[in-house]
Chains A and B, each alone.
Chain A
Amino acid sequence: MPANILLLLLLLLLWLQSDVTVTPTLVQAAQTHTIMLNAAGSLSGLAQAIPAGSQIAEPWHNSSLTWVGYATAAAVVFVVILLRKMRTVTQHLDQLKKVVAEQSSNLEVSNEKYRWLIEGLHESYVLFTSTQDGLITHVSPSVKNVLGYEQSEIINMTWKSLMESGDSLDDTLKNALKRKTALVVEAPVRCKDGTARWLELTQFPLKNPSQADEQRECIAKDITQLKQVKENLTAARDDLERRVRERTNNLQEVNEQLNQEIEQHQATSRRLNQSELQYRSIVEDQTEMVIRFDTHGTLMFANRAYRERHSLTLESLHEFNVFSAVHPNDREAARQRVAAIQTSEPIRIPLMRTLDEKGNADWADWSGRALFDEDGVLLGYQGAGRIITDLVQAQQKLEESELQYRSIVEDQTEMILRFGTDGRVTFANTASAVANGMTPEESIGRQYLTRVFKDDRDNVRQIVASTTVEKPVQQFDVRCYRPDGTISRESWSCRALVDSSEELREYQAVGRDITELWETRRRLDEKEQQLTHLARISALGEMVAEISHEINQPLATIANFSSAARLVLVQPELVEDDLLKLRTWSEKTIQQTNKINAIIHRLRRFVRPGSEHERFCIKDAISEAVLVTEIRTRHSIQQIEVECPEDIPLIKADKIQIEQVIVNLIRNACDSMDDQPYGERRLSISVSATKQEISVCIADSGPGVPPELAAGIFNAFVTTKPDGMDIGLAISRSIIESHGGKIKTIADDGGRFVFSLPIHQHGAHD
């Protein structure tokens, strides 16, 4: 079977060819050949099959040779084609060889360039090549210079061991590599000899995709010196800044200190100026005379008061002698006193007559001292004095009146009695004897009580009996008989006289006739009662217009409603509406009658005379008074405020009278606000209390009482109103004072009247 062997050979060739993947056309060619081969093969197979036992035809007998011929022809064709193809392949291969040779020559050139570059690197540059993990695989020879290591020593060291900062930097470099970015870092490294150096590493990724293990290429620059220089510079700059700051601070502090000092100086000089001014004004302005004179008496300085008194000017005073101003009678004495001053102790000449230039003498009080310099030498004297003529005169007058008084006392008309425990008189002075209608001698031995009015005797006996050692003095008023049979009022004070053993020996009584006083007081009381009543009546008179109005209003309303009702009732027909009207009107009518009742009731209370004391709360009195004056106030005042604490204590007084006082004050307040616009009028009544008394204050927004009239306004018939007599305040005061209280007016923001009433009452005339 030679065709099979050919086939096998061809297949083998194909298989061999198939390893050369140079050109696809070759493969295609092979494929084509395979097909052809197959075809040839099948044909040869067929040729073989036919001869074996076939009777196909003689042509086929010849055909076995033809088949071999065909197969050989095919094989020859095939080989020719193959040889042609192989020529193409060889051509391709030649081309490739050329390309490769070009590339390798380029590569060689590059390598050469690279080697020159590396070998020729500046001393301070080192080129590192390392694996991804940092194992250094190649390093330029300059590494010896920079790091001290030999090339061979560096290789196979890791970056980590070289670098001071170890892992973190390494990781950064690795990451940059992964990201295929270039990176520049500064890394501290350790040299062979152990010193530290700084390198600037520029790492760049190699574009070498065919190599399995990626390499790191690093150019390291020694920047140690640079860094050092930079640090030095920075340090120097910081230092400079610091020094500048310090200096600035220093300067500021100094500045501030200077400012403070300046301020202090200014303040001191200001104070100094002020003191000087003050001193000067004190000396100049005072009415006391201040002088300084030398040992001869010549004036060195005199203040204004002295200058004026003696008509001196600032120039002429230097020729003035102080002693010339002293009265001739006192002159010598004064001179001697002054000359006698040895020390700087102050001396006083309390009374000395001086003459002014007109020759008028005045009394003066001088005090002075001597002035010494540092060595103890006498420089002169300084004196201060004032004119006390008035004082002296006043004193003289006082002495005179004292004399008068003494003589009065000596000649007094007081009655003096002494009587024993049995009541017998042991001594009677002239006055007491005369009062009895006998001589002092005749009085002795008589009973002291005979003079006393019989109804008062028990009282007197009691009082005298209660005069003991413990309570030695008693005072009492008593009625006595006069020689002419009339009754006198006398005020006596009785004292128990004890002997040396503290035993009651006898009584001494001193008494005065107070009949006249008593009478006057009684008459005054009567008059006041009359006046009070009169004032009430007249006040009532004033209120008639107001009362008329107050009562007539409801009356008119009643009249109108009644008339209207009558008109409704005379209608021929009444409807529901009318009945409603009538009902409403009747109700309103009843209300009006209630109003009238209240008014009359109040009025009645107001007019009731007499003086009855009762316990009541001042609040009630105020409310009543406000109600009574409602008409007056309703039309005048926008606002009445009443302020009274809840726990105000009760007082015992005549309620009507107190109400009257408040009414009077309220009406006065209304009057005083007449000139004010309606909206601005305000009246307030406030109550306060202390332990002893309660105070009621009525304040209005009017102009108040002018201070010059304030004192006299409580006098009867003194009035600020142009029309009519205002008795009200005089009566009010007498009412308040008869209760033991006080009333006054204060000119404050508005008019203000305050009265006080004692809580524990002491009647003035009981």
Chain B
Amino acid sequence: MTVVDLYFPYQSISMVPMTDSPIIYVIDDDQDARESACALVSQMALKVESFASAEEFLATYDGYRPACLLTDHRMLGMSGVELLEQLRADRVTLSVVVMTAFAETELTVRAIRSGAVTLLEKPFSEIALRDAINAALKEDGVRYSEEEQTKQIHLSIDSLTSSELEVLKLISNGQTNKAVAIALEVSIRTVESRRSSIFEKMSVDSVAELVQLIMIARPDLC
């Protein structure tokens, strides 16, 4: 299983389409409510796709990013918050805004804990919706680029040979070249050449930068 599969279990794609225009996914089992939400969102000049149930969304979503999911909570079958929990369990990280007619505390807490951007209480104003969507998209954008970066780092690390990896572990812990050479029972020269190879593959110029990257993606190596 490659790194990519970990993040996108729904479809076997090698690369996520990297476009900039976000899509807003709207889920509501009440047809009028759904249509009205879609009308409003599309009038805000955003691309929108709608679904009548959480199940439909799960079956169709292709992992497009950047994206924001705007879902009603109380629906027949799977509820909005249940959908959110399911997505997080499947490691789908797109931003989610939950709509509900009656925002009980328990529901709110549960939604936020599962990573919803916010809870929108119906009926909501246009401004409230816009704010929510903006926050969601921003969050989604940031998270997405982070994910991409982490992915890149993982690829880079995977490209290291096992001997380079050994060196990496030691120098990330602050060991000098000499100490590394002794530890691995090789010459300093070997250590130096491996080190520069590592720097090359990881696209860094210093140990500090290297450690930063490692901490993001593979903290277990330090």
Contact = CB atoms under 8 A, between A and B. Distances in A.
Do chains A and B stick together as partners?
yes
Interface of A: 545, 548-561, 563-564, 566-568, 581, 585, 588, 591-592, 634-635, 678
Contacts of B40: 560-561, 563-564, 567
Nearest to A563: B126
Interface string B116-130: 000000111110010
B104 A588 contact: no
Contacts of B44: 567
B35 interface: yes
B126 A567 contact: yes
A552 B122 contact: yes
A556 B40 CA distance: 11
A552 B123 contact: yes
A394 to B, nearest CB: 60
Nearest to B36: A560
A560 B30 contact: no
Contacts of B35: 557, 588
B122 A556 contact: yes
A553 B77 contact: no
Contacts of B183: none
B194 to A, nearest CB: 60
Nearest to A631: B74
A306 to B, nearest CB: 71
Contacts of B129: 563
B77 A552 contact: no
A557 B37 CA distance: 7
Nearest to A592: B32
Interface string B70-93: 000010110000000000000000
Contacts of B43: 563-564, 567-568
A635 B74 contact: yes
Interface string B32-47: 1101110110011000
A556 B36 contact: yes
B102 A545 contact: yes
A568 to B, nearest CB: 6
Contact of B39 (A551, A552, A561): A561
A551 B37 CA distance: 16
Contacts of A552: 101-102, 122-123
Given A581-B39, A635-B74, A635-B76, A556 B123 contact: yes
Given A556-B122, A560-B39, 8 more contacts: A559-B36, A559-B124, A560-B37, A563-B129, A564-B43, A567-B44, A634-B76, A635-B74
Contacts of A563: 40, 43, 125-126, 129
A556 B99 CA distance: 10
Contacts of A545: 102, 104
A607 B39 CA distance: 37
A466 B127 CA distance: 82
A555 B36 contact: no
A560 B122 CA distance: 10
A713 to B, nearest CB: 29
A553 B123 CA distance: 7
- Name, among A564, A588, A591, the residue most crowded by chain B CB atoms within 10 Å (CB to CB): A564
How many chain B residues sit at the interface, stated as a range, is 20 to 34
Nearest to A567: B43
Nearest to A548: B102
B122 A555 contact: yes
B102 A561 contact: no
B39 A553 contact: no
27 contacts: A545-B104, A548-B102, A549-B102, A551-B101, A552-B123, A553-B101, A553-B122, A555-B122, A555-B123, A556-B99, A556-B101, A556-B122, A556-B124, A557-B36, A559-B124, A560-B37, A561-B39, A563-B125, A563-B129, A564-B39, A564-B126, A567-B40, A567-B126, A585-B36, A585-B39, A588-B35, A634-B76
Interface in B3-46: 30, 32-33, 35-37, 39-40, 43-44
B32 A554 contact: yes
Interface of B: 30, 32-33, 35-37, 39-40, 43-44, 74, 76-77, 99, 101-102, 104, 122-126, 129
Contacts of A557: 30, 32-33, 35-36, 123
- Per CB-CB distance, the 8 closest pairs between chain A and chain B, nearest first, are A552-B101, A560-B36, A556-B122, A563-B126, A559-B123, A556-B123, A549-B101, A548-B102
B125 A553 contact: no
Contact of B101 (A548, A560, A585, A591): A548
B36 A553 contact: no
A610 B43 CA distance: 51
A550 to B, nearest CB: 8
Contacts of B76: 634-635, 678
Contacts of A553: 30, 32-33, 101, 122
A558 B124 CA distance: 10
Contacts of B123: 552, 555-560
A555 B99 CA distance: 13
Contacts of B102: 545, 548-549, 552
Contacts of A555: 122-123
B74 A588 contact: no
A564 B125 CA distance: 10
B81 to A, nearest CB: 15
Contacts of A567: 40, 43-44, 126
Contacts of B37: 560
A650 B124 CA distance: 47
A592 B43 CA distance: 20
Contact of A588 (B36, B99, B125): B36
Contacts of B74: 549, 635
A591 B33 CA distance: 12
Nearest to A595: B32
A559 B125 contact: yes
Contacts of B33: 553, 556-557, 560
A211 to B, nearest CB: 112
A263 B122 CA distance: 86
Contacts of B104: 545
Nearest to A634: B76
Contacts of A551: 101
Contacts of A560: 33, 36-37, 39-40, 123
A585 B40 CA distance: 10
Nearest to A554: B32
A620 to B, nearest CB: 27
Contacts of B124: 556, 559
A563 B126 CA distance: 6
A561 B36 contact: yes
Nearest to B130: A563
A635 B122 CA distance: 19
B53 to A, nearest CB: 12
A552 B30 CA distance: 12
A560 B76 CA distance: 22
B32 A678 contact: no
A544 to B, nearest CB: 8
A559 B77 CA distance: 26
B36 A564 contact: yes
A670 B30 CA distance: 21
Query: Which of A550, A559, A591: most chain B CB closer than 10 A?
Result: A559
